[in-house]
Amino acid sequence: MELLVVTVVIGVLLSLLLPTLSRAKERARIAKVQAELYGVGLALEMYADDHAGRLPPVRINCNTDLYDHWCQFPVELADLGYLPRDRRPGMAVGMEDVFNPGHTYKYATPGPQLVNDVPGGDFKLWVPEDFPAGRGTNGVWESGADTSRIRWVVWSLGPRPNSARSQSGKAPLAPGSWYRPGGGGVILRAASRDGPQWQFP
Residue 20 located in a structural domain: no
Residue 192 located in a structural domain: yes
pTM: 0.86
Section 87-98 average pLDDT: 88
Of the candidates 28, 27, 33, 29, the residue with the CA atom closest to the CA atom of residue 155: 33
Residue 58 located in a structural domain: yes
Overall domain count for the chain: 1
Output the pLDDT for position 117: 83
Residue 30 located in a structural domain: yes
Per residue in 21-50, pLDDT tens? Answer: 667 889 999 999 999 999 999 999 999 999
Residue 77's contacts (CB-CB under 8 Å, 6 or more residues apart) are 43, 44, 47, 56, 83, 93
Per residue in 161-183, pLDDT tens? Answer: 999 999 999 999 999 999 998 88
Residue 26's contacts (CB-CB under 8 Å, 6 or more residues apart) are 159, 181
Per residue in 113-124, pLDDT tens? Answer: 998 888 989 999
Classify strands 58-60 and 111-115 as parallel, antiparallel or unpaired.
Answer: parallel
Section 152-157 average pLDDT: 96
- Look at the chain and count its residues: 201
Residue 9 located in a structural domain: no
Domain housing 53:
26-200
Section 45-66 average pLDDT: 88
Residue 6 located in a structural domain: no
Residue 16's contacts (CB-CB under 8 Å, 6 or more residues apart) are none
Residue 21 located in a structural domain: no
Please, which pLDDT band fits residue 134 given cuts at 50, 70 and 90?
A: low
The separation between CA 18 and the C-alpha centre of its own chain, rounded to angstroms, equals 28
Query: In whole angstroms, what is the distance from residue 125 CA to residue 85 CA?
Result: 27
Residue 17 located in a structural domain: no
